Amino acid sequence: MTVEHKYGSTTIDAEPKKVVTLGLSDQDAVLALGVKPVGSVDWFKEKPYGKWPWTKDKWGSTPPQIVGERDEYNIEKIAALKPDLIVAQYSGMKKEQYDTLSKIAKVVAQPKEHPDYGAPWQVMTRQIGKALGKGPETEKLITDVDARFKAVRDKHPEWAGKTLTVADSFEAGKYSAFTRTDPKAIFFSELGFTLKPEIDALAKPGWNVAELSAEKLNVLDADRLVWVTSSTEANDRIKAEPLYKKLKVNQEKRDLFVPYQDPDIGAAFSFNTVLSIPYAIDEIEPLLTAVK
pLDDT in tens, 110-151: 999 999 998 999 999 999 999 999 999 999 999 999 999 999
The stretch 160-181 carries a mean pLDDT of: 92
By the 10 Å C-beta count (0-12 exposed, 13-18 middle, 19+ buried), 120 is classed as middle
Distance, in Å, from the CA atom of 132 to the CA atom of 2, rounded to the nearest integer, reads 11
Tell me: pLDDT of 46 over 80: no
Taking the model in full, what pTM does it have? 0.94
User: What mean pLDDT value characterizes the chain?
Assistant: 94
CB 43 within 8 A of CB 24: yes
Question: Is 90 exceeded by the pLDDT of residue 101?
Answer: yes
Region 40-55: what's the mean pLDDT?
77
| Contact yes or no for 40/48 (Cβ under 8 A) | yes
Give me the pLDDT at residue 136, please.
Answer: 96
* Per-residue pLDDT at 292: 76
243-252 pLDDT, tens digit per residue, is 999 999 999 9
Per-residue confidence (pLDDT) for residue 49, from 0 to 100: 55
Q: Determine the Cα–Cα distance for residues 210 and 206; give it in Å rounded to an integer.
A: 11
What is the residue type of 75?
Answer: I
pLDDT at res. 66? 93
pLDDT score of 288 more than 90: yes
Closest CA to 273 of 109, 49, 123, 69: 123
